[in-house]
């Protein structure tokens, strides 16, 4: 009886939280609320994508519009995105990596999304010791305008990939940097830190570019994705949408095949692009920290996207 009451209370609490979140989203931006409901279903999502306007400009690389990326075949990248939901092989030049380091070494960082836990870059290097306090991740605290990040947001190769895949003029809807540290974490903590397989409903179609700013191997918490799951999801998973994060990773792997699971490792500067509807996660680091950058492009912008 006690167990039944406890489960009942948990159900009603979750239902209340879910209802409140939906109400807040509807109040903040009705377009976002509608998209979050409609974009779950693949046929509806594809219909909305087909209604978008084609790109209004060309993003061809030229002497007047150079790219920091060399020898990237845009058509090949877009084809891989359409087929697999991801494309590997975008590499940051060393000078851009150094620009990132120099810029963020002079900034403060906040830990575990707690603005009361603010540290300098040098302190972060001490925090990354696996015997330090239970600091799971850190993000820049009021970073200001970052010149190398602005270069990437307007790079013609990235914009060309985004425009061709999205089918319209891409909008940069977000970017972030994060340190992930090798500490233990509960399943709930991993869920809150996007360290379980999930998909993002940020628009009817959206992609993220990821770049490693440290060497990443299997002990550093590499990004992982289940190839091909940006389309042809099981109907139940389409209806669940972002709530698929509550499904055990192994269940999703069993459903879509271990052969489709990719753990993406790479040296400092290694980059890739992914459809955010692919099931993906940042795995929990076990021995070494990981520092990475992500930039997201979508068809539409919404108010309060990260708060709904």
Strand partners, 135: none
pLDDT, tens only, 48-83 = 999 988 887 778 777 778 899 988 999 999 999 999
Judge whether 180 and 260 are in contact, CB under 8 Å.
Answer: no
Tell me what pLDDT residue 4 has.
Answer: 44
Q: Rounded to whole angstroms, how far apart are CA atoms 138 and 153?
A: 22
pLDDT category of residue 2 using cuts at 50, 70 and 90 = very low
pLDDT category of residue 16 using cuts at 50, 70 and 90 = low
Which candidate, 212, 196, 176, places its Cα nearest to that of 290? 212
Helices (H), the chain: 2-28, 30-38, 42-50, 74-84, 94-105, 121-127, 147-153, 156-166, 187-192, 235-240, 249-256
Judge whether 167 and 54 are in contact, CB under 8 Å.
Answer: yes
pLDDT category of residue 140 using cuts at 50, 70 and 90 = confident
Q: Which two tokens stand for residue 60?
A: 């061809």
In the 8-state DSSP scheme, what is residue 93?
A: -
Q: Rounded to whole angstroms, how far apart are CA atoms 81 and 258?
A: 19
Q: Which class for 57: exposed (0-12), middle (13-18), buried (19 or more C-beta within 10 A)?
A: exposed
User: What b/e string do you get for 124-153 counting C-beta neighbours within 10 Å, with b at 16 or more?
Assistant: beebbeeeeeebbbbebeebeebebbeebb
- Please give the domain boundaries of the chain with CATH numbers for all domains: 39-307 (2.60.120.620)
pLDDT, tens only, 185-208 = 888 888 888 899 999 999 999 999
Tell me what pLDDT residue 133 has.
Answer: 57
Q: Rounded to whole angstroms, how far apart are CA atoms 252 and 274?
A: 18
Q: H or E stretch including 109?
A: strand 108-111
Strand partners, 275: 207
Which candidate, 250, 257, 266, places its Cα nearest to that of 97? 266
pLDDT at 103 over 80: yes
pLDDT, tens only, 228-244 = 999 999 999 999 999 99
Give, to the nearest 10 degrees, the angle between helix 42-50 and helix 30-38: 130
pLDDT at 131 over 50: no
């Amino acid at each position: 009886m006690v167990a039944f009451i406890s489960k009942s209370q948990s159900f009603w609490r979750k239902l209340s939280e879910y209802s409140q979140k939906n109400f807040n989203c509807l109040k903040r931006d009705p377009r976002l609320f509608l998209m979050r409901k409609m974009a779950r279903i693949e046929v509806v999502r594809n219909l909305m994508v087909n209604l978008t306007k084609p790109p209004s400009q060309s993003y061809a690389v030229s002497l007047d519009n150079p790219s920091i990326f060399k020898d990237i075949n845009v058509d090949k990248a877009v084809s891989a995105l359409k087929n697999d939901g991801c494309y590997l092989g975008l590499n940051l030049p060393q000078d851009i990596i150094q620009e990132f380091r120099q810029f963020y070494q002079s900034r403060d960082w906040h830990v575990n999304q707690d603005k009361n836990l603010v540290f300098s870059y040098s302190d972060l290097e001490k925090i990354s010791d696996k015997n330090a306090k239970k600091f799971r991740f850190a993000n820049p605290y009021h970073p200001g305008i970052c010149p190398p990040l602005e270069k990437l947001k307007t790079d013609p190769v990235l914009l060309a990939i985004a425009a061709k895949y999205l089918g319209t003029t891409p909008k940069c809807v977000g970017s972030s940097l994060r340190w992930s540290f090798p500490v233990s974490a509960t399943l709930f903590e991993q869920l809150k830190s996007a360290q379980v397989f999930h998909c993002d409903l940020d628009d009817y179609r959206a992609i993220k570019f990821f770049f490693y700013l440290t060497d990443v191997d299997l002990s550093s918490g590499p990004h992982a994705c289940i190839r091909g799951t940006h389309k042809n999801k099981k109907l139940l998973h389409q209806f669940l949408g972002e709530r698929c994060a509550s499904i055990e990773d192994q269940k999703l792997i069993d459903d879509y095949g271990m052969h489709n699971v990719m753990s993406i490792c790479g040296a400092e500067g290694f980059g890739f692009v992914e459809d955010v509807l692919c099931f993906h996660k940042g795995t929990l680091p076990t021995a070494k920290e990981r520092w990475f950058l992500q930039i997201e492009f979508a068809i539409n912008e919404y108010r309060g996207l990260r708060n709904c």
